[in-house]
Amino acid sequence: MAKPDWGALQDQFLADHAKTGISPKEWCEAQGLNYATARRYIKKPAAQSAQKPAQKKVRTAQKEKIADELVESKLTAQQKRFVAEYLIDQNATAAAARACYSDSSYGRQLLTIPHVAQAIAQQQKASIARTLSDADEVLAQMWQLATFDANQLSQYRRGACRYCWGFGHHYQWRDAVEFEEKRLEAVERDRREPEDSGGYGYDHNKEPNPECPRCNGDGIGQPYFPDTRKLPPVSRLAYSGVKVGKNGVEITAISRERMFEAVMKRLGLADSEFAQRLQQIEIDRRLLEIEKLRKELAGDGEDDEPTPVQININVVDARADDGDQPDT
């Protein structure tokens, strides 16, 4: 077997990653590559992998900038250093030690000096102004995760039954091949051969026929999952993974309820009457959805369709880094 051209594969991955944001592991699985081997060669752009060191440099530069901005004539050089260190963790004792004061407990006394306290307040106000835009972006993203349409991740669809669009509402086959397979199976088992009086062309994605005497226009229900590689940005962010086990298909996603609570807390509305009413409305809506789904499942009855695989949808609070373990 020829050795893979890792350079060409890396170039191809970078092009796909720029278009779709696909991860190295997902890309390798889609290409049929062993990720344990390919991970040495297939990597995200260097700028993204160096993001954390870059962020550390930015924080260091900001701290130095704060110290440089403290040009208040009443502050000594050591007091400027103390103010810059205090803004890091709001710990006066630790800030005094880092500012090289011989007595670290002197930090509390520094906070009582008017021009030192004024400098700290000015810098805190400036820091809030610098971070407001970032905070607004985070809050907007949290709200999107709290209100995204769960149908983008999983759906329960109702489509036409076998009798909806068959001639004379007789059983309709997908095509002649399916009919012939069932006819031969009946002959082999010495059973009555099926009829094709309902014709061909059955499509379960069609809307139910409201005049169908078999399903009364309700059709039949079945779960549906979209291609997770093509999810919209918000639902892609909420999606955590999918696993196939003995209990069927399990989808994990960020909990909209918990995210909604986090937004309320961030806005200071967690304990308000308004927030409690919103939460109760959301709970009632979800209960109605569950009850409706149960009735639909109970009303499907027996049909010639195969029984769908059991689907478990498990909602979790946050994504867990599963290392190199595949999602499926």
Instruction: Judge whether residue 306 has pLDDT over 50.
Output: no
Q: What is the pLDDT of residue 274?
A: 61
Residue 109's domain comprises: 51-147
Nearest-angstrom CA–CA distance, 285 and 280: 9
Residues 60 and 143 in one domain: yes
Most confident of 98-102, 146-150, 293-297: 98-102
Helix axes 77-89, 114-147, angle to 10 degrees: 30
Is 99 a member of any domain?
yes
Burial (CB < 10 A; 0-12, 13-18, 19+), residue 324, is exposed
Is 92 a member of any domain?
yes
Instruction: Judge whether residue 163 has pLDDT over 90.
Output: yes
Question: pLDDT for 191-224, tens place per residue?
Answer: 999 999 999 999 988 999 999 999 999 999 888 8
Residues 213 and 285 in one domain: no
Q: What is the mean pLDDT of residues 236-257?
A: 81
- Going from the C-alpha of 217 to that of each of 56, 155, 182, 233, the distances in angstroms are 62, 20, 26, 35
Is 203 a member of any domain?
yes
Final residue of a domain: which of 205, 223, 241? 223
Final residue of a domain: which of 96, 127, 147? 147
Which letter, b or e, does each residue of 281-319 get, where b requires 16 or more Cβ atoms within 10 Å of its Cβ?
eeeeeeeeeeeeeeeeeeebeeeeeeeeeebeeebeeee
What are the beta bridge partners of residue 173?
200
- Among 2, 55, 52, 45, which residue's Cα sits nearest to residue 24? 45
Work out how many domains the chain is built from and give that number.
4
Task: Please name the helix (run of DSSP H) or strand (run of DSSP E) that holds residue 39, with its range, or none.
Answer: none
Q: What is the mean pLDDT of residues 152-181?
A: 92
Residues 159 and 182 in one domain: yes
Q: What is the dihedral of CA 315, 318, 324, 327, to 10 degrees?
A: 20
Residues 133 and 69 in one domain: yes
Question: pLDDT for 69-92, tens place per residue?
Answer: 554 457 888 888 888 888 887 888
- Among 136, 144, 134, which residue's Cα sits nearest to residue 55? 134
Final residue of a domain: which of 95, 112, 147? 147
Residues 143 and 178 in one domain: no
The pTM score is 0.39
Residues 236 and 326 in one domain: yes
Contact by Cβ (8 Å): 79, 116: yes
Q: What is the pLDDT of residue 53?
A: 60
Is 320 a member of any domain?
yes
Nearest-angstrom CA–CA distance, 213 and 328: 41
Higher pLDDT, 82 or 297: 82
Residues 99 and 17 in one domain: no
Is 128 a member of any domain?
yes
Residues 323 and 236 in one domain: yes
Q: Which of 34-38, 135-139, 299-303 has the lowest mean pLDDT?
A: 299-303
Instruction: Judge whether residue 9 has pLDDT over 60.
Output: yes
Is 1 a member of any domain?
no
